[in-house]
Amino acid sequence: MITYHNPLHQGHAPAHEFFRGERVPCFEKPARVDYVEGALRARGQDLMTPDVDSAPVLSQVHAPRYLAFLQTAWQQWLALDPANAGVQPFPSVWPVRTLRSDLVPENFVARLGLYSMDNGTPMASGTWAAAKAGADAAASAATLVAQGARAAFCCTRPPGHHAGPDFMGGYCFLNNAAVAAQVLRNQGAQRVALLDVDYHHGNGTQSIFYDRADVLFISIHGDPRTEYPFYLGHPDETGVGEGAGFNLNLPLPAGTSATTWFDALESACARIASQGADALVVSLGLDTFEGDPISKFALASADFTRVGERLARLGLPTVFVLEGGYAAAELGTNAVNVLDGFEQ
């Protein structure tokens, strides 16, 4: 399968995130993609370097003020104090209900809160460059599929599906899957189905397309009554305005078995088939794996082959975009299994 990698991902390497009030090593670390690249190369796969500038498409899925902030966020942080080079910025105040989010504060940490949904999305010096190169990889993969390739895989980090129109969150900065879907639309697909199989609901992607009928968003994920991101991903969210009926959430309880998960996949595939789409984008989170350290589904490595097989049977030009998955050493096997299942 055509595969694009992100040559700049290692520049996004924050040291810590917060968990239960403690600083712990980041789950979303460079080794994740190193393992996937290793498994791809072992399979004889060429890794292509991004060759499409995603900037115009990023402006279609993210707000200008958010993109402008993110692009220079690290320089803004250093401008406060050169010693910040060794310190991770974290938001500490957020414009929740009754507070104003139309104003852009002069204080950097306040701006970081304006553009963040959580304090679990640490930044580093190379974050913008890594996120932008990842979006370029997604745009490149989608461009080849729009031009007739059967499928392509965007092997990147940081992930993207929690990043909304104007905010970062859940380890995500730029929404790579949204970029892929928008590229397919721009290049002729009338309707795109975007299926998110990450353990966590793709709140950012849902929000980007919630009022649009041209991108059907479907997500299978841990029930947000108990699982991150909590505040979106519930079954009564079905789209709004022209997008009414083009959003489908299929939450499953923490602890769900592979058998039940595949029943949900069947429902998702039935909706894609009935609603009709010219192309498919898959937000390929691998944190549904039974060994994932932060998630609670129970797919075995062999199940990922079945995921690929089932998605291939939809018969749609397909862009796979890597999202979460934190059992780093097993990510290579699980990713390659999806691609093998799709291609066999």
Residues with catalytic function? 162
**Burial class for 229, CB neighbours closer than 10 Å (0-12, 13-18, 19+):** buried
Based on the shown chain and the rule CB under 6 A, indicate whether residue 170 belongs to the binding site for ligand SP5: yes
Instruction: Give the span between the Cα atoms of 342 and 344, in whole angstroms.
Output: 6
CB 179 within 8 A of CB 135: yes
The correct pick among 223, 287, 303, 330 for binding ligand SP5 (CB under 6 A) is 287
> Using CB distances below 5 to 8 A depending on partner kind, what does residue 170 bind out of Zn ion, ligand SP5, none?
ligand SP5
Q: Any residues with CB less than 8 A from the CB of 342 and at least 6 apart, and which? A: 1, 151, 308, 309, 311, 312, 318, 320
Based on the shown chain and the rule CB under 6 A, indicate whether residue 294 belongs to the binding site for ligand SP5: yes
Based on the shown chain and the rule CB under 6 A, indicate whether residue 233 belongs to the binding site for ligand SP5: no
Based on the shown chain and the rule CB under 6 A, indicate whether residue 134 belongs to the binding site for ligand SP5: no
Taking residues 274 to 303 in sequence order and writing x for each that binds Zn ion by CB under 5 A, - otherwise, the string is: -----------x-x----------------
Instruction: Give the span between the Cα atoms of 305 and 314, in whole angstroms.
Output: 15
With tokens 């993609």, the residue in question is 33
**Shortest spacing between CB 198 and Zn ion, in angstroms:** 4
CB 182 within 8 A of CB 57: yes
**Closest to ligand SP5 by CB, 290 or 309:** 290
The correct pick among 74, 171, 217, 261 for binding ligand SP5 (CB under 6 A) is 171
**Shortest spacing between CB 311 and ligand SP5, in angstroms:** 19
CB 175 within 8 A of CB 205: yes
| End-to-end C-alpha distance for the chain, whole angstroms | 11
Please work out the total of residues on this chain that contact Zn ion, with binding judged by CB under 5 A: 6
Based on the shown chain and the rule CB under 6 A, indicate whether residue 222 belongs to the binding site for ligand SP5: no
Instruction: Give the span between the Cα atoms of 142 and 153, in whole angstroms.
Output: 9
Based on the shown chain and the rule CB under 6 A, indicate whether residue 231 belongs to the binding site for ligand SP5: no
Q: Which stretch binds Zn ion (CB under 5 A): 40-48, 71-79, 133-141, 322-330?
A: 322-330
Based on the shown chain and the rule CB under 5 A, indicate whether residue 66 belongs to the binding site for Zn ion: no
**Closest to ligand SP5 by CB, 32 or 212:** 32
**Shortest spacing between CB 324 and ligand SP5, in angstroms:** 2
Q: Which stretch binds ligand SP5 (CB under 6 A): 43-51, 104-112, 170-178, 209-217?
A: 170-178
Instruction: Give the span between the Cα atoms of 46 and 58, in whole angstroms.
Output: 26
**Closest to ligand SP5 by CB, 117 or 277:** 117
Query: If you compute the radius of gyration of the chain from its CA atoms, what whole number of angstroms results?
Result: 19
The correct pick among 14, 91, 285, 332 for binding ligand SP5 (CB under 6 A) is 285
Half-sphere CA count of 149, side-chain side, radius 13 A: 18
Q: Which stretch binds ligand SP5 (CB under 6 A): 67-75, 164-172, 217-225, 239-247?
A: 164-172
The correct pick among 35, 69, 199, 326 for binding Zn ion (CB under 5 A) is 199
Please work out the total of residues on this chain that contact ligand SP5, with binding judged by CB under 6 A: 15
Based on the shown chain and the rule CB under 6 A, indicate whether residue 200 belongs to the binding site for ligand SP5: yes
Based on the shown chain and the rule CB under 5 A, indicate whether residue 324 belongs to the binding site for Zn ion: yes
Taking residues 5 to 44 in sequence order and writing x for each that binds ligand SP5 by CB under 6 A, - otherwise, the string is: --------------x-------------------------
The binding site for Zn ion (CB under 5 A) comprises: 198-200, 285, 287, 324
